[in-house]
Amino acid sequence: MDVATWIIAISTGIYTIAFIVTVFYIAKQLKENKLLHESTVLKEAYDYIIGTHKYRKIIYDNERDIRA
């Protein structure tokens, strides 16, 4: 019976360590997901600004034709 108790204790310890590692991994993944979402939003905003700048440059370069 003593061997079975040790096996159960070791198994419980391994499962506890695995659970703690899993919790930290999930927390890290959630943080990474949040950062990825923020970077995606910023990239879309910068792409919009760059696109707007290109259109503005086209309009200013062709201002004479547009006024005519």
The larger pLDDT score, comparing residue 60 to residue 43, is at 43
Looking at residue 68, the DSSP 8-state letter turns out to be -
The token pair at 20 is 């703690």
Q: What is the pLDDT of residues 11-59, one digit of tens each?
A: 999 999 999 999 999 999 999 999 999 999 999 999 998 888 888 888 8
> Rounded CA gap, 45 and 68, in Å?
33
Amino acid at 6: W
Question: Given this model, what pLDDT does residue 65 score?
Answer: 79
Match 């695995």 to its residue by tokens. 18
**pTM, rounded to two decimals:** 0.59
